[in-house]
Amino acid sequence: MRDLDAVLDGQPTPPAPDPEPEHCEFCDGPIRWLTSRTGKRMPVDAYPSPRGNVIIRGDRAGVLGPVPAAAAREHGEQLHLHHVVECPHADRWNAKARGAGRRSQPTPPRRRIGGRR
Ligand SMILES: [Zn+2]
């Protein structure tokens, strides 16, 4: 098992690279697609905002109310904004959301993000 020992001792695990921001398909702004507590994918601004109310943990996002958001900020948390709040093309996002909710339309295929494994 010397090979394995060498691997474990001599090769510190490299830190995971920061995920590359993706881009809004409408305004090209940097966003990240994260999973909300309800399991839905949501676009979140890639960079924190002083007005943000979305807390990010790994690839999960939690939307905070005003009071918990203020408390989290006091604890030094970086909060982000849901991208649609700031997107100049919010109407397109809303139209898209409405389209996805229509029963007559087939479920769109899940978008693959970050390439295949
Ligand atoms: Zn946008």
Q: What spacing in Å lies between the alpha carbon of 84 and ligand 1's midpoint?
A: 7
Residue 71 CA to ligand 1 centre (angstroms): 28
Give residue 105's pLDDT band: very low, low, confident or very high (50, 70, 90). very low
The closest of 35, 45, 31 to 79, measured between CA atoms, is 45
pLDDT in tens, 4-32: 665 556 666 666 556 677 999 999 999 99
CA–centroid distance, residue 23 to ligand 1 (Å): 8
% of the chain at pLDDT higher than 90: 62
Residue ranges of domains in the chain: 20-88
The closest alpha carbon to 68, from 58, 60, 79, belongs to 79
Q: What is the pLDDT of residues 46-102, one digit of tens each?
A: 999 999 999 999 999 999 999 999 999 999 999 999 999 999 999 999 998 888 655
- Please give the distance, rounded to the nearest whole angstrom, from the Cα atom of residue 62 to the centre of ligand 1: 20
Q: How far is the CA of 65 from the centre of ligand 1 (A)?
A: 23
> Residue written as tokens 């649609």?
84
